Structure 1
């Protein structure tokens, strides 16, 4: 029979666990989607203190986003307000000096304001698992590759004027330095691959049994193989591996239940393959 001490200890531990989850995203797949395009761009362009600072700021942006999303989903419950405010304050403290030093980066502000607004709207409507909400997340994460690359050691000298000053008009020769071929290719590679992951996961969990989603996923991944074949061997290898898992696991799921944990592990491996092969292809 439980004693008074064990009866009081259990709720305390539960409260601590709940409190920790209010501050930290417990979805490894989300962290991979958010950070891997940035990390790939950071490595491929040559790490610098500035690009490292920017990657850290992007991680803080995600902390603000997922806590704010919970706040919106709960329709402004006080429980989620403190983590949102603390992360927002930390982002402001670390981000304002960066903007002062590199105000040209504000050219990206309109895009990210729109994507953030759509993300929070999906949470308010409790549609954060919808296809359009997932697409917003993929676009936001993938585009960061374009943002980060000009701050790398391979491009910093040529892009200084674009990142350190407000552009007077757009586009011009200085602004073009912000749109490097490497950044665009990494961003496009991740956007295409990650959207395939969105379709695949839906065929395994929320849209399991849907022939429409299954055929859409298979068709999309087959097109990725064709694109990879036309572009680079690394992309083709990645696309073939992604196609194999998009076909095999749903077929296995028809005969036996595939736990969500297995899907998560599969996607972790797929994300690591993206992190390795997309920069190689770029």
Structure 2
């Protein structure tokens, strides 16, 4: 899972300690993509104690997949051996009680495997910034809404609206962030972003007034902010606020 899209890091160095560089990916947007779908599912399906190891397995699984994909990309398995040796067992230990006590979560394994296969395909070709690869990561992230529901033993239909909301949000954010950073000045990406957000607003309106209001704000963001030169940090801070609005929409729709 290459969760970089919501806040693509622009070219350039970020100063961090050596240990952080080795074990923590330089993908700031990943944390929103990990937490927002998980929290959206939690807000609707309710909390169960198994959600704690689920969250741990989800985060460590992301870290494991990130470094595994780096090994695929570079062809240097030994270079990333320490990270894989750390996060592999942690993921397995944390996932074990979830799988044993809620085996229904395994129903989502084929979808995750297929989407991870997309990530691997792009990693081997060193094209992890490709739009389709970003969208595959978005889909992986948003499926967590259904996994949380399975842990809570809640029917999937009950969390369908939160799933649609976070899926629309992160898909639109992939396009929007590209217009702010890597594809800044691209008319094609700007049109795609604004067009998608307009369509998302129409879809959100069917989910209720709160979702409609939130996506109206997101549409305004997609149209107005690319006309201003914001730093990646400013873009990220704006997305924290946007994520909070999306969680409110997920909880109230």
TM over 0.5: yes
* Post-superposition offset of 1:129: 1.4
Contact 2:71/2:80 (CA < 8 Å) preserved in 1? Answer: yes
Residue 217 (structure 1) aligned to one of 174, 188, 193: 193
For structure 1, which runs of at least 5 residues remain unmatched after alignment?
A: 1-13, 160-176
Which structure 1 residue ranges, 4+ long, deviate > 6 Å from structure 2?
Answer: none
Contact 1:148/1:183 (CA < 8 Å) preserved in 2? Answer: no
Structure 1 pair 75–63 and aligned structure 2 pair: CA distance change class (3 A): same
Total equivalences in the alignment: 240
In the other structure, the counterpart of 1:34 is: 34
Aligned alpha-carbon RMSD (Å): 2.1
Which of the pair has more CA radius of gyration?
1
In the other structure, the counterpart of 1:5 is: none
In the other structure, the counterpart of 2:22 is: 22
In the other structure, the counterpart of 1:73 is: 73
In the other structure, the counterpart of 1:271 is: 243
In the other structure, the counterpart of 1:150 is: 150
Determine helix, strand or coil for the equivalent of 2:221: helix
Structure 1 pair 19–140 and aligned structure 2 pair: CA distance change class (3 A): same
- For residues 77 and 105 of structure 2, what CA distance do their matches in structure 1 show? 33
Contact 1:119/1:137 (CA < 8 Å) preserved in 2? Answer: yes
Q: TM-score, normalised by structure 2?
A: 0.87
For structure 2, which runs of at least 5 residues remain unmatched after alignment?
A: 1-13
Q: TM-score, normalised by structure 1?
A: 0.78
* Post-superposition offset of 1:85: 2.2
In the other structure, the counterpart of 1:95 is: 95
Deviations along 1:185-238, one digit per CA (max 9) or x if unpaired, are 211111111100000011111211111111111111111222222321111111
